[in-house]
């Protein structure tokens, strides 16, 4: 199939928006740049209506300035492809912002769900390339709501990725898919210390949107929710952030809100063999529809920052088993030095405490997963007067039972970090393999 333009538009047969006469001006694709052009032309028209020649010149200048600004942005445009063997947003370098959305299906028929995923596919393919939903006619008709909500008009794609998965509840009795639920995708157990709140848990469908611009990311979630109307509703959402690439051009390991580097021990995403071993589901794993997909776990972890801020630096470093400044393991010098779990101090005690977070999460090097965490801040907890802030822990793996569950059972029981954190949200999703052009999200399952 012929490759689509980077500013491909949504398929109106799938979205239900009216078709136009072939060749009609109103049927032209509408990119975010086109919207800026239209805004400039509109301003010019008003000036012409006033009959002032000087105003015409001013309007032309305005259009030129706007175009130059836009071209400047496009020169730095960076867009990840939506179609491919794997979904983007899993081993993709982490962008600056996260908008996570969990949906519940209200549809009762599998055909309705299939239609939703087709609509989301064309919409996501457009938004990841910086195109608006709809065309000129569906965005300029004064008698109808615009096809696109418009807040991303004129913005570059900002490296946005949109990653889709389905939760365990998707395989209940509603759609006849129970037999297709993978054995490697069990319900998460209740871990020791969990204080889960229903408003932050579960969901039939999970959508992870990441971008270098929060407004671009929010725009995607908002429009996916609009397209889902009548088929699915939002269950919960959470925004997240990291240090931006503008604040740290070297793109070093981000720090969490406790001040420590988060993700140093991640496997190398550029090592294809390691990604197959750790992240991507393989054909021999069963559930052939998940081959080249990955299992995602999401945990909303609230940090007791007020308590943490009163602890000494030594206690903080003993808790993580790493130096706060460099990120190096205790007893080492560089962030990426290996953990020496056998090292003892002069008193014969382990240099890295037995209950240190890094020691326990290391799993003696036998179990790995890919972390993709973001900090969150949701303002003030009015009940306690403390910050409602912490970590949106997201990880990807090939087998949830053998990787996340095995690791979290140990952390929940022994991690010194538990003095300062509480898991309040939890969800898991089977993230589909990538979509081939002409296909749609989840087509191998349906």
Report CA torsion sign: 352, 353, 357, 359. Answer: positive
Helix axes 32-50, 53-75, angle to 10 degrees: 170
Give the pLDDT of the chain (446 residues) as one tens digit per residue: 333 333 333 333 333 333 333 333 334 444 554 544 444 433 333 333 333 333 333 344 444 444 433 333 434 458 999 999 999 999 999 999 999 999 999 999 999 999 999 999 999 999 999 999 998 899 999 999 999 999 999 999 999 999 999 999 999 999 999 999 999 999 999 999 999 999 999 999 999 999 999 999 999 999 999 999 999 999 999 999 999 988 988 888 999 999 999 999 999 999 999 999 999 999 999 899 999 999 999 999 999 999 999 999 999 999 999 999 999 999 999 999 999 999 999 999 999 999 999 999 999 989 999 999 999 999 999 999 999 999 999 999 999 999 999 999 999 999 999 999 999 999 999 999 999 999 999 999 99
Query: Do the Cβ atoms of 298 and 167 come closer than 8 Å?
Result: no
**d(C-alpha 137, C-alpha 18), whole Å:** 9
Beta strand ranges found along 242-326 (DSSP E)? 294-303
């Amino acid at each position: 199939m012929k490759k689509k333009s980077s500013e491909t538009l949504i398929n109106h047969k799938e979205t239900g928006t009216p078709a136009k006469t072939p060749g009609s001006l109103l049927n032209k694709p509408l990119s975010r740049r086109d919207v800026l052009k239209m805004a400039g032309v509109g301003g010019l028209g008003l000036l012409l209506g006033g009959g002032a020649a000087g105003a015409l010149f001013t309007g032309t200048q305005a259009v030129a300035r706007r175009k130059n600004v836009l071209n400047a942005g496009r020169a730095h445009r960076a867009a990840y492809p939506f179609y491919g063997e794997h979904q983007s947003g899993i081993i993709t370098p982490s962008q600056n912002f996260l908008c996570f959305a969990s949906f519940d299906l209200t549809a009762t028929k599998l055909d309705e769900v299939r239609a939703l995923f087709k609509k989301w596919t064309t919409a996501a393919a457009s938004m990841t390339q910086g195109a608006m939903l709809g065309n000129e006619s569906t965005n300029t008709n004064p008698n109808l709501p615009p096809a696109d909500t418009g807040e991303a008009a004129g913005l570059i794609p900002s490296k946005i990725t949109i990653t889709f998965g389905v939760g365990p509840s998707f395989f209940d009795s509603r759609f006849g898919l129970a037999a297709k639920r993978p054995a490697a995708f069990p319900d998460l157990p209740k871990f020791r210390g969990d204080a889960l709140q229903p408003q932050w848990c579960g969901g039939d469908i999970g959508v992870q949107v990441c971008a270098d611009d929060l407004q671009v990311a929010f725009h995607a979630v908002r429009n996916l929710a609009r397209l889902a109307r009548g088929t699915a509703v939002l269950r919960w959402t959470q925004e997240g952030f990291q240090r931006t690439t503008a604040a740290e051009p070297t793109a070093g390991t981000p720090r969490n809100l406790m001040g420590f580097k988060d993700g140093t021990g991640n496997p190398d995403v550029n090592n294809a063999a390691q990604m197959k071993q750790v992240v991507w589901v393989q054909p021999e794993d069963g559930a052939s529809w998940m081959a080249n997909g990955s299992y995602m776990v999401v945990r909303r972890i609230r940090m007791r920052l007020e308590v943490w801020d009163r602890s000494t630096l030594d206690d903080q470093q003993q808790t993580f088993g790493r130096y706060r400044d460099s990120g190096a393991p205790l007893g080492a010098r560089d962030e990426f030095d290996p953990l020496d779990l056998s090292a003892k101090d002069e008193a014969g005690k382990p240099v890295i405490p037995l209950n240190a977070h890094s020691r326990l999460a290391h799993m003696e090097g036998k179990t790995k997963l890919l972390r993709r965490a973001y900090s969150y801040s949701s303002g003030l907890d009015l009940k306690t007067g403390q910050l409602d802030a912490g970590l949106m822990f997201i990880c990807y793996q090939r087998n949830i039972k053998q990787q996340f569950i095995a690791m979290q059972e140990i952390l929940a029981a022994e991690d010194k970090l538990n003095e300062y954190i509480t898991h309040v949200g939890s969800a898991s999703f089977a993230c589909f393999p990538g979509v081939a052009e002409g296909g749609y999200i989840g087509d191998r399952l349906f």
